[in-house]
Amino acid sequence: MTTQRFDDIPETALAWHRAGKGAALAAVVQTWGSAPRRVGSQLAISGAGEIAGSVSGGCVEGAVVAEALDAIEDGTPVMLEYGVSDGDAFAVGLACGGTIRVFVEPIGAVMPEDMLERLVQARAARQPVAYVTGMNAPRKLFYDGFSERFRMDRSGFEEDGETFVNIHNPPLRLIVVGAVHIAQALVPMARIAGYDPLLIDPRESFGSADRFPGETIAHDWPDEGVQAYGLDSRTALVLLTHDPKLDDPALEQALASEVFYIGALGSTRTHAKRVERFRDKGYSDDQIGLIHGPIGLDIGAAGPSEIAISILAEMTRVLRQGA
């Protein structure tokens, strides 16, 4: 079962360093006005001038590479700042003019190799990790303690204006149980929004390649499917079958996990029956309260596509604002 990989910029920098080329990581640490790349975006530069990633729309990469090559040779970090006027903005990629600050760190001399290796290992294991750095700040990795930043995918300076926290979150994933009409609309919408979707439905006539071309489909029993795929804090689970025999086993797995969103299709009456079933199974009201049912924001949705929009909107709200 394959999943979409996120960028491999730290991995590339580590490989270049270990190949003896020398390497540096450059990160956008601050922006003002318009900027094509968000804070935390990275660019890897090798000592041979190779690059991976981006810190702008192409307008400052050349200058960053030149500075990074000097930093690699000197073994020192450097903080760069680039500003563009509104009149010149389109020519260099800052759509309405703006300023960006880019922090460059040579690997080994500044960012320890073993720390970069641990960062890469955490990313491979889908473990959220924060890399804390700065011109004068001690470099550390944190796997918790920045809950708001992790939830918001928000890298940035701390209040001291010196300590920079670069958040490395795993890619978002969506598990949909029930390859029904709503799923046919939801899956491509979620993919556009940055999710890596998986469909689980033991009914092969529903979960067919004809109905979901190019998508990952598991014809497993739902609890087995979610176990095989994994449930973590960057995963949303959406249940669309209306059938307790299919939905409930996956729900039980989700309630024992750290998924950030659980949504279950059904009317208010259907959800009330679901609540009673889970109370009878010994689940607390707090646990049951994690289930969003009826699923989706109440936008008066009519038809599968609008219901899919309401589901994706609710997933986004929970991800960015909390339950």
Helix segments in the chain, DSSP class H: 9-18, 61-74, 89-92, 113-124, 147-152, 181-192, 222-229, 244-255, 268-280, 285-288, 304-321
Of 252, 234, 232, 233, the closest CA to residue 244 belongs to 252
Say how far apart CA 142 and CA 144 lie, in whole Å. 6
pLDDT band at residue 34 using 50, 70 and 90 as cut-offs: low
Contact status, residue 77 vs residue 134, Cβ threshold 8 Å: no
**Which has the higher per-residue pLDDT, 99 or 220?**
220
Q: Could you report the per-residue pLDDT of 164-216, keeping only the tens digit for each? A: 999 999 999 999 999 999 999 999 999 999 899 999 999 999 999 999 999 99
Average pLDDT, rounded, for the chain: 91
Q: Could you report the per-residue pLDDT of 96-137, keeping only the tens digit for each? A: 557 889 999 999 999 999 999 999 999 999 999 999 999 988
Mean pLDDT, range 234-251, rounded to an integer: 94
The verdict on pTM exceeding 0.95 is no
Instruction: Tell me how far CA of residue 9 lies from CA of 112, 168, 209, in angstroms.
Output: 16, 11, 33
Question: CA triplet 101, 167, 125: central angle to 5 degrees?
Answer: 140
Q: Could you report the per-residue pLDDT of 265-307, keeping only the tens digit for each? A: 999 999 999 999 999 999 999 999 999 999 999 999 999 999 9
Residue 3 has pLDDT above 70, yes or no: no
How close are the terminal C-alpha atoms of the chain, in Å? 30
**Which has the higher per-residue pLDDT, 33 or 314?**
314
DSSP H or E stretch at residue 164: strand 164-168
Identify the three-state secondary structure at position 30. strand
Q: Could you report the per-residue pLDDT of 60-94, keeping only the tens digit for each? A: 889 999 999 999 999 999 999 987 654 444 444 44
Say how far apart CA 107 and CA 16 lie, in whole Å. 10
Q: Which domains, ranges and CATH numbers included, belong to the chain? A: 9-168 (no CATH), 172-321 (3.40.50.720)
